[in-house]
Amino acid sequence: MALSKVNLEEKFGQFSDHWNPRIVGRLNGQEVKIAKLKGEFVWHKHDEEDEMFLVISGNLKIELEDKILDLKEGEFAIIPKGVLHKPVATEEVKVMLFEPAGTINTGDTESELRQDKIKEL
């Protein structure tokens, strides 16, 4: 990737589908991804990777086994490796994700929502 600034509004404007992250940057073995979420994702965990969800717009609920994290615009949560979780977005939510390169979005769960080839914007 070339050295330049990233305009999130412009990047989010390049796609409309949900649960299909796009890579917008890379640093120190991490990928910076953005995604639009709507509806319920699948219960899953990442055995080797922590995952950070930063809400750019909207309201995201992350269901855990013992509680629900309610994230509003400008808030983030880090889901530690091995923690079972399920993101839920009643209305469309725009998020930025930070996770190790190559992280599979559905973790240990097989699903039609799995994205093996993440596009780069």
* 7-25: pLDDT as tens digits: 999 999 999 999 999 999 9
Per the domain annotation, does 99 fall within a domain? yes
Residue 2 located in a structural domain: no
Domain count, the chain: 1
Cα-trace Rg, the chain? 13
Return d(Cα 36, Cα 94) in angstroms, integer: 5
Domain that holds residue 80: 8-120
Asked if residue 1 is part of any domain, the answer here is: no
30: number of Cβ within 10 Å: 16
Q: Which two tokens stand for residue 24?
A: 């917008």
Question: Residue 113: what pLDDT?
Answer: 61
Calpha distance 25→32 (Å, rounded): 5
Q: Please report whether residue 37 resides in a domain.
A: yes
Question: So what's the pLDDT on residue 115?
Answer: 66
Phi, psi at residue 4, to the nearest 5°? -165, 170
Mean pLDDT by 10 residues, the chain (121 residues): 83 95 92 95 89 96 96 97 95 94 66 69 81
